[in-house]
Structure 1
Amino acid sequence: MEDQRKPITNNMQLAKKLPMWKVDPQIQTLVEATCFKHFLRFHEGNSVNQNLSLLTALAYFYDRDESVFSFGDKKSFFVDFSLEDVLYITGLSIDGDPVTGVENVSAHAIAHELNIHETEVDELYFKRKKAKTNVRLDLNKLRTRFEKVPEECLDCDAYLKAYLLYLLGTVIMPNNTEGVSPIYLPLLGRNTVNKYAWGAAMVGFLKNSLKDTKALLDEGKTGSISGFVYAIMVFALERFACVREELSLRSVSDNISHKELEPKSEHQGVKELRSKDKEQRSDQEEPLLISNGLMTRAKSNKLKEAVRDILKQGMLSDQEGKELVTTTLVVIQVQEG
């Protein structure tokens, strides 16, 4: 029987605009001091492409009620695209003040944030034919106005805000237009931007988009996921080995050599001690094996004993002022019925 599922459509047009902004070295230095620093890599010729087949499959498995990916005939297995995933993939903060923005940003407020005259604001608005009022700034006009930074700029905060707002509008929280809301401008200053949980905002935006997309797919319509879908693709490749095998890829973490993870300035003697300590911990820690099947009292006691030992190690390490390092992994499989 032919697969009747509707594929999702490409929604990367706005993301392709990001590399168009030629980041001035002065602004690059400021961006590198923020949680958005890793997005500068997309200006180095690294393209952002979608695997529509992968994203379509993921969208069909999305549970709108639980906001997770669910698998199995009875939805007995759940995988969450979580805050930790976004932190790991993007480096964006997941702990901080909520990204709520400022309501009803006036032309005067925009002019103040971007350090321009109020008459210039009208030229930056994204003009919609049937709209009574302008509520978004045009991405193209924003880039044209703020891409070039004066030499020896004494106060580049406005140019930093403009670039980060452009980043939000093209990659982090895009909409179906080429406009971006100015409500985030007060949050994007060099002294304030790192105080906010941008990673949490990204998760919320992507999950809302997944929910809307799945609603369309359930109705037999075509949808598209808005937001930084690259994060969802990396999430799938990291979480599901079968996807990597299908695409003949390896885990991102597998592609990083141990030498790349070692501090370059670390003394050779410290490296030897670290290696010796790792071998000792590897010898001491044995895997906890609990057979499949029903969770019997004996299995429960075995699990409780393992967890109790971990907590005990933590208390002793805390008293001695040491950091607890454990490789214990506990996997619990729940079967209905």
Structure 2
Amino acid sequence: MVGLIRSPASTFREEESIDSKQQGRSKEEGVNRGKGLCFERVDEFDGDEPVVNDIDGNEEQTNIPTVEHHTDIPDVDHPMDMLSSSEVVATPFLRGLVGPSIPTNFSCHVAAKIWNNEVVVSTFVERWQPETNSFHMPFGEMFASLDDVSTILGIPMTGTSVSTNNLSRDEAVKVLVKLLGVSKDDAVVELKEAQGQLVPLEWLHENFQSVSNADSNDFIHYAARAYLLLLLGCTLFVDKTTIRVSVVYLKLLEDLNLVHSYAWGAAALAFLYKQLGMATKSTVRQIAGYMTLLEAWIYEHFICLLQEELDRLEAHEVIWDPYISKRDNHPFAEVAYYTGLLKCIDIVEPYHPDRFLRQFGRMQTILPPPLSPVS
């Protein structure tokens, strides 16, 4: 399998599929995800605060926003007119992003609850076990498989390995000059500013955003590589600063006709495994990697997100296969059954789908020993 490091594959027993009724509450059943609570859609309520049911089914008052269903729709000219002034974001959207396409009411959107790293990411990081590369839950192990990555991101899982030698400072300068067409002096300055074999994302944006069809083919190719490098630095391979990207990925973009042939999904998962493992260290205060992928996976599989709720979570409360009704458009990626090692540049991480077979609709077998750590 190209792009993956081969290892003896596990055997998977074809067992009875998990009853779809136990996959979790679907959106059609009117259950909305909330901040550690299981919200039910309500037609009306008395008083100022809605009544919700907690994980044990007990009613309680809360001031956490819920999705409300009303038969009477207000007569407004624009959905924004329904928002109070406190619901409109006055500060920049997510890491300072600004622009005409950026929503101004993000703080009251359900996605804002999922993007809250303090609530979601840290809660799951403390359950991460680097030896098995999985979350250890009260009922067993779970984590994003190659099928999850394929379905959520839609990028290749197989193909040429995302692998190349690391660069020295001089080699990084040469790569920038050759593949982005910048001067040697500019390349040296930017590498020095980024403090390593990296370049600032803002620098890529400023130098190549003005590309047009009137430019030479060479400059258009430079701009295309700069855009792809910027994209990788903003998504799959985000570092802790979130404002720079390694030049080593630029080497993989030299031939633009081959970019689609790389196993970007497997590389992204290996990179995320590594960052989660580092984040479990008591001295680490930040985490790198594609958090949107992690948060989307959590959103699809879990309804309750707070620590005390996860501690009491049972297997039947997990949405094991959230894509079961979407398989016509997102066929199951058979490569998800692969057991072995995933690679991203100099990162090599074990991949153990046999430790979370229930995510594939199968019976969980006795867990085999994990692969030995790779130094």
Measured against the shorter chain, the TM-score band is 0.5 to 0.7
Structure having the higher helix fraction is 1
The alignment status of 1:139 with 2:201, answered yes or no, reads yes
Q: Distance in 2 between matches of 1:142 and 1:237?
A: 32
Structure having the higher strand fraction is 2
> Match of 2:25?
none
The alignment status of 1:184 with 2:252, answered yes or no, reads no
Task: Give yes or no for contact 2:278–2:284 (8 Å, CA) kept in 1.
Answer: no
> Match of 1:207?
273
**1:108: how far off?**
2.5
> Match of 2:102?
45
Q: Distance in 2 between matches of 1:193 and 1:141?
A: 22
| Residues 321-332 of structure 1 aligned to structure 2 (within 5 Å) | 330-332=362-364
TM-score (norm 2): 0.50
Task: Give yes or no for contact 1:59–1:214 (8 Å, CA) kept in 2.
Answer: yes
Q: Which amino acid is 1:162 matched to? A: A
Task: Give yes or no for contact 1:70–1:77 (8 Å, CA) kept in 2.
Answer: yes
Bigger Rg, structure 1 or 2: 1
Q: Distance in 2 between matches of 1:79 and 1:193?
A: 31
Q: Secondary structure, in 3 states, of the residue corresponding to 1:137?
A: strand
> Match of 2:296?
234
Q: Which amino acid is 1:180 matched to? A: V
CA RMSD of aligned residues (A): 3.9
> Match of 1:283?
none
For 2:164, which of 101, 117, 129 is the aligned residue? 101
Sort the Cα spacing of 1:71 and 1:329 in 2 relative to 1 into closer, same or farther, 3 A.
closer
| Residues 123-202 of structure 1 aligned to structure 2 (within 5 Å) | 123-127=189-193, 134-155=196-217, 156-177=220-241, 178-188=243-253, 189-202=255-268
The alignment status of 1:81 with 2:81, answered yes or no, reads no
For 2:135, which of 48, 66, 69 is the aligned residue? 69
Q: Distance in 2 between matches of 1:180 and 1:149?
A: 21
**1:179: how far off?**
2.7
Q: Which amino acid is 1:55 matched to? A: V
Sort the Cα spacing of 1:228 and 1:106 in 2 relative to 1 into closer, same or farther, 3 A.
closer
Q: Distance in 2 between matches of 1:113 and 1:212?
A: 32
Task: Give yes or no for contact 1:206–1:225 (8 Å, CA) kept in 2.
Answer: no
Question: How many residues end up aligned between the 2 structures?
Answer: 221
Show structure 2 runs of 5+ residues with no match: 1-91, 310-318, 331-359, 368-375
**1:89: how far off?**
0.8
Show structure 1 runs of 5+ residues with no match: 1-12, 23-42, 263-327
> Match of 1:319?
none
Task: Give yes or no for contact 1:99–1:197 (8 Å, CA) kept in 2.
Answer: yes
Q: Which amino acid is 1:149 matched to? A: V
Q: Secondary structure, in 3 states, of the residue corresponding to 1:152?
A: coil
Q: Distance in 1 between matches of 2:93 and 2:244?
A: 10
Task: Give yes or no for contact 1:107–1:118 (8 Å, CA) kept in 2.
Answer: yes
Q: Which amino acid is 2:363 matched to? A: V
